[in-house]
Homo-oligomer: A and B are copies of this chain.
Amino acid sequence: MTEMEKIKKEIEAYLPRIIESRDIPGRLGEAMCYALSGRGKRLRPFLFLKTLEIYSPPLEKAIPFAWGLEAIHTYSLVHDDLPIMDDDDYRRGRLTTHRVYGEANALLVGDGLFTLGCELMNSVNDAFCFERMQKALAVVLKAVGPEGMVGGQYLDLKGEGLDLNLSQLEEIHRKKTGALITASLLSGGILGGAAERELGSLEKYGQELGLLFQITDDLLDLEGDPRKTGKSGHKDAILGKATYPGLMGIEGARKKAEEKCQGAIYAAKTLGEKGRVFRELAEFVLSRDM
């Protein structure tokens, strides 16, 4: 996925520059840059930009929106890693933000990145019609709020140590991971002027990709090489969290991942030739080792 690498490099160059250009006190800006650095895949900006690209818009004008998605995703990681939440020491191959800057500062880094993300998404102010911009922002906000990502994290914490069934597990991941992945696709489609039917395909694709992503995450937590994944490893078992391999065995989880990959490819096909990149992405996620 060389296109993914290109977008990744751009984000890793520009997002810190934006933060440095602002009047942020003390080491807070530095801590925000730290949280954003490390080995992120930058999947959400990629999904947004690749969707938008289908509709031949002035792509470079929409780039701050893509950065905003990554800032919001990173905020959620920083808060989730805090000791009062999942208590993680490593993320993206480095010490987590609170391990370097302290818990109070990490909380503020998360709050700051969320605000910055909203600011960036709200700053796309020419070349696109305002109505579409407002709608695209609304879709992302709904996805990351208490009905989406925040609600998913709530359910995830609540479910620790409990015997969850498959449908409860899927609800957690649909909200916690799937919602923002889907919103990254939908906001690109909305900004580009996709038809309702196309938005339906993007939503279906995002839901399948989101679960595929989570299942492979669970498998990597069990079988992955921490030097490659950049995470602590075996965290799910330590926290007593329900996982796909835990519910259906490693082979069952692998089969489920293949099903989700096929579902994603099927949804992407309805987008026509321009949806090819999404078919490739699903296969890439299925076989990822980091």
Contacts and interface: CB of A to CB of B under 8 A. Distances in A.
A106 to B, nearest CB: 9
B114 A26 contact: no
Is the contact region of chain A dominated by helix, strand, or loop, or is it mixed? helix
Interface stretch (A154-162, A243-251, A261-269): A154-162
Given A85-B104, A108-B154, A115 B145 contact: yes
B26 A111 contact: no
Interface residues of A, number: 49
Given A123-B138, A130-B131, A130-B134, A25 B151 contact: yes
A150 B25 CA distance: 10
A147 B107 contact: no
A105 B154 contact: yes
Contact of A146 (B28, B123, B133): B28
Contacts of A41: none
Interface in A132-191: 133-134, 137-138, 141-142, 144-147, 150-151, 153-155, 157-158, 175
Contact of A114 (B19, B24, B105, B114): B114
A20 to B, nearest CB: 12
A82 B108 CA distance: 12
Interface in A117-139: 118-119, 122-123, 125, 130-131, 133-134, 137-138
B134 A28 contact: no
A25 B154 contact: yes
Contact of A111 (B116, B130, B150): B150
A122 B141 contact: yes
Contacts of A151: 24-25, 28, 112
Nearest to A133: B134
A154 B110 CA distance: 12
A89 interface: no
A154 B24 CA distance: 10
Contacts of A105: 154, 157
Given A84-B84, A116-B146, A28 B137 contact: no
Closest 9 CB pairs of A and B: A130-B130, A115-B145, A112-B146, A84-B103, A24-B146, A119-B141, A112-B150, A28-B154, A25-B151
